[in-house]
Amino acid sequence: MDNRHVKQTAEQFESLLIGQIMHSMRASSGGGWMGTGEDQAGSTMGDFAEQHLAQVMAQQGGFGLASLIQQGLTRASDPAPAISTGESTRTLALPSTLALK
């Protein structure tokens, strides 16, 4: 798994999450971002603004979820360390809480 693709995927996921949070905030306020009701055009513009802001936030670090996801995916794709018993080599899988650093 290419680290660049892992990073992009993690940022996209965080961007989607941030966008959903922002959309929920706007919907729960009962109106647009400016506190007034909005028409279809205003709603569409708000959706685009939320999406773009969420992407920028995720690229700039956002909530830090993208880096945690990237670390988890990178660890999960690393081969498990091998243990030599003299007779044969066996693979040891460690739980993520016991991962060697």
Residue 16 is assigned to a structural domain of this protein:
yes
Q: Calculate the alpha carbon distances from 28 to 32, 47, 69, 77 in Å.
A: 10, 14, 29, 40
Per the structure, the count of domains in the chain is: 1
CB 58 within 8 A of CB 11: yes
Tell me the pTM: 0.63
Tokens of 7: 């990073």
Residue 85 is assigned to a structural domain of this protein:
no
Q: pLDDT value at position 56? A: 92
pLDDT (tens digit, 9 = 90+) per residue, 73-85? 888 776 655 555 5
Residue 97 is assigned to a structural domain of this protein:
no
For residues 101 and 96, what is the distance between their CA atoms, to the nearest angstrom? 11
Residue 84 is assigned to a structural domain of this protein:
no
Q: pLDDT value at position 100? A: 45
Residue 49 is assigned to a structural domain of this protein:
yes
pLDDT (tens digit, 9 = 90+) per residue, 54-72? 999 998 988 898 989 888 8
Residue 18 is assigned to a structural domain of this protein:
yes
The model's confidence at residue 41, banded by pLDDT at 50, 70 and 90, is: confident
Q: Could you list the residue range(s) of the whole structural domain that residue 70 is in?
A: 3-79
- Is residue 35's pLDDT more than 70? no
Residue 96 is assigned to a structural domain of this protein:
no
